Structure formats: C-alpha cells, structure tokens
Amino acid sequence: MYTGVELNTVNQAGEDECPFGTRTFLQSLEGRQYLYHLQLKQEFSDESGAIRGLTEMGKLDIVWKRNLGEMAMLQTIQLEREAPGYGNMRLSLETIPDTVILEEPFCITCKITNHSNRKMKLVLKMCDTDSIRWCGSSGRYLGKLPPSSTLSFTLTLLHLQLGLQSVSGIRITDKLLKKTYAFDDVAKVCVIPSMVGRK
C-alpha cells in the first residue's frame, strides 16, 4: 500500500553522500537515526477502509554483522501506523490559490469522502465569517454519496481582511441522518492588497 523513499543522503558538491561518512561500523552504545518517507499509494488514498485504524506498512529488515568473518544477524521490525480518525466524512481541498487579492473573488475545489458504511444525501451551506464572504447560493443539493466514494465541487469566496486568513464556514448536512458536519480552518491563504489600491 505504500511507497518508500530513503532520505539518508546529503548533497555535497553535486553528489549524494552518506551523512555518516564511509565508516559502516557502530561502536558500543553508539546510535544512528535513518529517515524514510512512506506515502500511501494513489489507488488506496480514496479507500476509507484501507487507511482506517491500525494498518501494516510493511517490515524493516536490518542485517547486523558483528565482526568480520562472523555470521550476520537478521532483525525484522514490523512497521505499523495509526491512521488519523476522520469520522464518517472527510473534506479535503484539491485546488486553492496561495495568494489572493483583497475583496476579489477566487475559487477553491473541495472533495468530500464518505468514510461510513451507508449512503449519504448531502446539502451544502456556506456561512460568512468576519473575514470571508461566500459567493453563490447556500443550501444547494450536492447529491447522493455512496460508501467509500468521493465527490468534488467548486466554491467561490472573497476575503475582507489582509494577511494570512483562514478558510472557514463550510457546513454539509446529511439529510438522511439529519446530521451537520462543520468544516472550519480547512486552509489558509495570503490576502494582499490590489495594485490599484496601492497606487
């Protein structure tokens, strides 16, 4: 389910070198830390069952050579991770600009994933905040979302305050259960003044 990338080299004069040098032996009570980046493969990223609870990521095999000429000792470590709990619904952003102009509309694309084992019937509501005004009609019907499925939609909003501002105020109601999910502080954007205003 995962791809692994080794991050145990440093770039010195255009060449990748081991940060520990050429010495391959550890003295008594000496320790080293090795870093690896493990990423969930794309085909599993949208499957709620694949990332729920404790999942096995694979195993790490370490071969210890005690002294020259002696038999090697193999140590196997099982790698596991606790997936973050998203509840029955997860909202993620597919596209959002890094920088936006004050009081000028911009678009974001959201993706909803149904992590429950039942169908959802979704209605979207946008709530204005002190720094955000949503553009478009609130209370629109998004459609039915089967279990372990996703749907995407685009929203338009504008910011009223300068600086690093949060995107908040998204409310999605499951009409079948009559339950509302609140999504606040889903991302931050840098709001800058317009060139016209600065002149």
Q: How many CA atoms lie within 13 A of 15 on its CB side?
A: 3
Q: Tokens standing for 148?
A: 């372990």
Q: Tens-digit pLDDT profile for the chain (199 aa)?
A: 788 888 888 877 888 888 777 777 777 788 888 888 877 777 776 554 555 566 777 788 888 777 776 777 888 888 877 665 567 888 989 999 989 999 999 999 999 999 888 999 999 999 999 999 999 888 999 999 999 889 999 999 999 999 999 999 999 999 998 999 999 999 999 999 986 544 4
Regarding the domain delimited by 89-192, which CATH topology (the fold level of the hierarchy) does it fall under?
Immunoglobulin-like (2.60.40)
pTM of the model: 0.59
Q: What is the dihedral of CA 9, 44, 59, 4, to 10 degrees?
A: -10
So where are the chain's domains?
2-80, 89-192
In contact, 169 and 131? CB cutoff 8 Å: no
